[in-house]
Chain A
């Protein structure tokens, strides 16, 4: 699954650590999701969507 996490984070000038703290996960988790090595669970995907104030489908894209 592709995602726009890195772009959205860059637009807000957030570091991976900043986003990780906001989500309550490790920086490694944010890095793994951004690079497509790990697909988040639905609850975590909803938390990400809430933080960016966007619908999930605006962040996560089909392959």
Chain B
């Protein structure tokens, strides 16, 4: 087993990520159960509806901890490259689509909560680009 796979920072990242993902899904289900369709804004509904947002924030913390805890400077460099590519792709896509929505009213409106999943998807694009460029950095999750 290579050091990439047994690096404790990656193990912690996987465990934390799995726990936060499970909590996020549970909070979405909770909001679906508690908040009725078309409900007017009330303090309880607002708290329950905002709950998944807390877990998105925790996901950002999980990714930040990975960068902080990775003691291998090259693997950290690779992760930072992936995050930069993901951020660039997401900003370009959301900016372009937002402007297109402004000028073309018939265009489907993309809900703003899609930005974070889009960033995660863009992270996969970053992984592919970094892997193709280096040919040897694909071991990182």
Contacts and interface: CB of A to CB of B under 8 A. Distances in A.
In the complex, which range does the number of interface residues on chain A fall in? 10 to 19
Contact of B75 (A17, A24, A26, A40): A26
Interface residues of B, number: 15
Nearest to A37: B134
A31 B73 contact: no
A33 B2 contact: no
B139 A28 contact: yes
Nearest to A25: B72
Given A20-B3, A32-B136, A26 B77 contact: no
30 contacts: A17-B2, A20-B3, A24-B71, A25-B72, A25-B74, A26-B2, A26-B3, A26-B4, A26-B7, A26-B72, A26-B75, A26-B139, A27-B2, A27-B4, A28-B2, A28-B75, A28-B78, A28-B134, A28-B137, A28-B139, A29-B72, A29-B73, A29-B74, A29-B75, A32-B74, A32-B134, A32-B137, A33-B74, A37-B134, A38-B77
